[in-house]
Every structure is written in structure tokens, then in C-alpha cells.
Copies of this chain bind each other. A is one copy, B any other.
Amino acid sequence: MEKEHIFKQYDAELNDIRSKLLEMGGRVEKMIADAMKALVERDSDLARRTIAIDHEINHLEMEIDEKCLQVLALRQPAARDLRFITLALKIVTDLERIGDQCTSVAKRAIELNDEPPLKPYIDLPRMATCASVMVKESLDAFVRGDADLAIKVCRDDQFVDDLNEQIQRELLTFMIEDPSSISRAIKLNYISKCLERIADHATNVAEMVIFMLKGKDIRHTAPPTPLS
């Protein structure tokens, strides 16, 4: 009976880490959506609230880190559980850095909201939505152990990269045609870069999940391609 009790508690601890990670992921997704809404709807109050929430993300990171350390110290997990926990430790770092990127987007939104709009925002919200879905799916792939979903996330990264390049080119034409737009264009360019980095973090998570599940790293099996 005693042994069974310990097993149940151990399972509960692993489930707790899993659900805290998903909670952190959900909050980060909301940060992405809110930071973008603050830009599109010129809502600087929402931007400030988004920046304030980053604090909670950081606390969740520390909390999950501590939970993982406790399980490692007290339960001595082996094999699959050990890989799950060590990967959780790496994933929270990516989630926390996504939160940092959202904060950067929100700060630039506040600055942009003080100036006349440069153009209607269409591609940036599309990029944000795609990056947010990638974050969600990379975490789902992790908790469900779904390699196919993780592979999809890696593929979707190309779409975000392409959108980022397209946005950069478009902003460049604005800058060349009207030097008074330069300052705003640079800020929008920065936001585009932040969204691209968010997608990169999701891709990194997905790659690590594939490595956990298949025992091989998809990033590291292909030969180097000097010009791709």
C-alpha cells in the first residue's frame, strides 16, 4: 500500500509539471495575441498589461524549474521520466524567452501608438497567429509525445520566415520612398523579428521533442549545407 501511495504521488508530481508547462504555454500564447492586439488596435493600456504579465511568466519558469529539481532529487526518475523532466527544464527556458519577445513587441507597440499609423497591419498579425499556433503545437507534441505534430511545427517555421522576409522587403520600400517613415518602419521591422524569434523558439522545442521521442536529433543528422 505504502509503495502504491508513493507511485501515485510521483505520478501526480509529473502531471503537475505537465499541467504547469501547459499553463505557462497558454499564458505565453495570450501574451502573443495581446501584444499584437495592442499594436493593431492601438491599445497602449493592453500593451502595458501585457508587459506586466511577463512577471508571472518568469515566476512560472522558476516554479517549474524548482518542481523539476525536486522530482530529480527525491524520486530519482529513470529512462523516459528522466528525459521528460530534463526536457521540461529546457522547454521552460524557451517559453520564458518567448515571454521576453512579447514584452519587446508590446514596448514597440506603445511607441508606435504615439505616432500616425504607417499602414494597416495584415502580415504581422498573420505571423503572430502562426507563431502562437506553433508554440501551442510544440507543447502539445511534448505532453502527448506526438512526433508527427512536432515535425509539422518545424515545417511551419518556414512560413513564418518567409512572412518575415516579405515584411522586411515591404518596409524597406516605405523607408526608401519616405524617409519620414524610417523610425516607424524600423520598429515594425523589430516586431517582425521578435515574432520570427518566437517561431524559432517553438521550432527549437519541437526539435527537442523529436529528439526525445526518436532518440535522434533531426537538426544534427543532416550533413552541413554550406549554401542553403
Contacts and interface: CB of A to CB of B under 8 A. Distances in A.
A72 B82 contact: yes
Contact of A51 (B76, B110, B220, B226): B226
Stoichiometry, copies per complex: 2
Contacts of A182: 172, 176
A129 interface: no
Contacts of A62: 217, 220
Which secondary structure characterizes the binding site on chain A? helix
Interface string A169-186: 000100110010010001
Interface in A182-228: 182, 186, 193, 204, 217, 219-220, 223-228
Contacts of A48: 226
Contact of A226 (B68, B107, B227): B107
A58 interface: yes
B52 A69 contact: no
A225 B100 CA distance: 12
Interface of A: 47-48, 51-52, 54-55, 58-59, 61-62, 65, 68-69, 72-73, 76, 78-79, 82-83, 86, 89-90, 93, 97, 103, 107, 110, 168, 172, 175-176, 179, 182, 186, 193, 204, 217, 219-220, 223-228
